[in-house]
Amino acid sequence: MIKFKLLILASITVFFASCEDDKPTTKSGVEIIKGQRSSAKRTMPQGFEKFGENDIFIRMEREGNGEEIQKGDIVTLHYKEWLLPKRRKIQDSYERRSPISIRLGHGQVVEGLEQVLEQQRVGAVFQTQIPWQLAYGPDVYRDYPPKSDVIMDVTILGTRAGTPFYDTTGIKPVELNSGVRIYQIEEGNGERALPGKGVEVFYHGYFADGKLFDSSFDRNTPIRIQLGANEVIPGWEEVLSTMRVGDKVTAFIPYYKAYGEGGSAKIPPHTDLYFDMELTAIKGLE
């Protein structure tokens, strides 16, 4: 089965036209670095308890009594985040009045928070301190100082099962002249996608290692684009031009039909990409 890291996926559309590639990374799509485990023992903050074996500390404000959270679930939460030792605030979904939703187990939050979330239930409210090795790592990231521990306030609002990746086992792909490969998962019988048409598409976007970088399935909202208007990467245009409403495909898109040698703010250079795509509607935009 064919099957780096982002902090929040609330509204990213990383595959849109390459003219967007050079925009600076926003708070809704920052890379995180998985560092090495800590070897020096940290002092436990007052009122906190040790969590696990990696110098993570936690203070529970309220135990959750809802559903257990499982790896692969879509978890919706509010959170604030500060860099230590100066307690500089860098994220605040409470202030934005917009909770985030992440797929647990795909590196969409820092590794230390993933470890904590996997042991919680819906309704939990807690504060956690995470060592830099499980946060943003040993180097300068954005304007974050290197080796910065972080502290977070978190409220878990809900969880739901994520839409699975398509299974390509035993399916022979159709390879286009460009090197794009298309695995037909289900065949539709609706209208064909043609240049100038507006199409609605659900998708997962992931790397060769299976790590998800974006998903309209997870947001439960399709994207709407106009074919032939350079709104998506070239590989997407090629794939959609072969589809009709109701089609479900997995597409392999080589780097030169995606973000090329330079990559983008969210995609590394020379990176091949995979997309599970479902064409749900054609709107006839002009």
pLDDT of residue 43: 84
pLDDT tier, 130 (very low <50, low <70, confident <90, very high otherwise): very high
Stretch among 75-79, 94-98, 186-190, 282-286 having the lowest mean pLDDT: 282-286
3-state helix, strand, coil in the chain (%, to 5): 10, 35, 55
pLDDT tier, 14 (very low <50, low <70, confident <90, very high otherwise): very low
Q: Which residues are registered as beta bridge partners of 150?
A: 83, 130
pLDDT 10s digits, 219-250? 889 999 999 999 999 999 999 999 999 999 99
pLDDT tier, 80 (very low <50, low <70, confident <90, very high otherwise): very high
pLDDT tops 70 at residue 169: yes
Q: What would the mean pLDDT of 254-260 be, rounded to a whole number?
A: 96
The more confidently predicted of residues 17 and 193 is 193
pLDDT tier, 284 (very low <50, low <70, confident <90, very high otherwise): low
Which domains occur in the chain, in start order?
34-161 (3.10.50.40), 174-282 (3.10.50.40)
pLDDT tops 60 at residue 1: no
- Phi-psi region for residue 107, left (φ > 0), alpha (ψ -120 to 50) or beta? left
Whole-prediction pTM: 0.71
Strand extents, DSSP E, 131-197: 150-161, 174-175, 181-186
pLDDT tops 60 at residue 279: yes
Query: Which residue in 40, 15, 41 sits closest to 29, CA to CA?
Result: 15
